[in-house]
Amino acid sequence: MAGYQAAPQEREDNTLPSPETFSTRQNKSHHRSEDRSALFSGRILDRADSKVYAIVGVCFLLAAILALVYTFWAFGVSLIELPQFSMDQQPGHIAPAIIEIVSGLLLVLIIMEMLGTVIHYLQVHTTSLRPFLFIGMVSATRSILSIGARLSVEGLNFSEIDFTHAMIELGVSAAVIVALGITLKLLGRLVEVGVSS
C-alpha cells in the first residue's frame, strides 16, 4: 500500500510548471535586459552630456577672452583718438569710453559666471539658480550703463519720446535689479535654513 501511495506523489512531483511560472520567468529576464539597456544608454548619454558641457565651457572661455581683449582694444582706440578733439570736447568723448569699458567688463563677468555654472555642473552634475539671478542683475546694470552712455553722448539732442523711452528702460532695469536682489536674498536664507536643519 505504501508503494501504491508513493506513485501518485511521484507523479505530482514530476508534473510540469504552470504557464504562469514560465511567463513570470520570461518577464524577469525581459526586465533584466531592459535594465541593462537602460543603464548602458544612461552611461552613454551621461558621457555625451559631459562632453557637450565641456565644449560649451571652452567656448565660453574663448568668448570671455575675446570680449576682454576687444574691450581694452576699444578703450585704447578711444584714448588714442582723444587728442584729436579740443579740450572742451574731450570730456564728452572720454565719459562714453569709460562707460563702454565698464559695460564690456560686465559682459566678461556674465560670460565667466556662465562658465562657472558649466564647471559646477561638470563637477557635481547639478545646476543652481543663483548664477542666473546674478547674470540677470549684471545684464540690467549693463542696460542702465548703456542708457547712461546714450544720454551723456546725445545730451540735449534727445527728443522727448526717446527720453521717455530711456526713462522707462531705466525704471524697468532698476526694478529687475531690485526684484532679483530680493529673490537672491530669499534664496540664500532658504539655503541657510536647509543647511542648518
**Which of 14-28, 109-123, 163-177 is predicted with the least confidence, judged by mean pLDDT?**
14-28
d(CA 114, CA 57): 8
Per residue in 95-132, pLDDT (tens digit) is 778 888 888 888 899 899 899 889 988 888 777 778 88
Average pLDDT, the chain: 76
pLDDT of residue 31: 56
pLDDT of residue 91: 66
pLDDT of residue 176: 92
d(CA 81, CA 94): 10
- The whole-model pTM stands at 0.65
Annotated domain spans of the chain = 22-196
pLDDT above 90 coverage of the chain, percent:
17
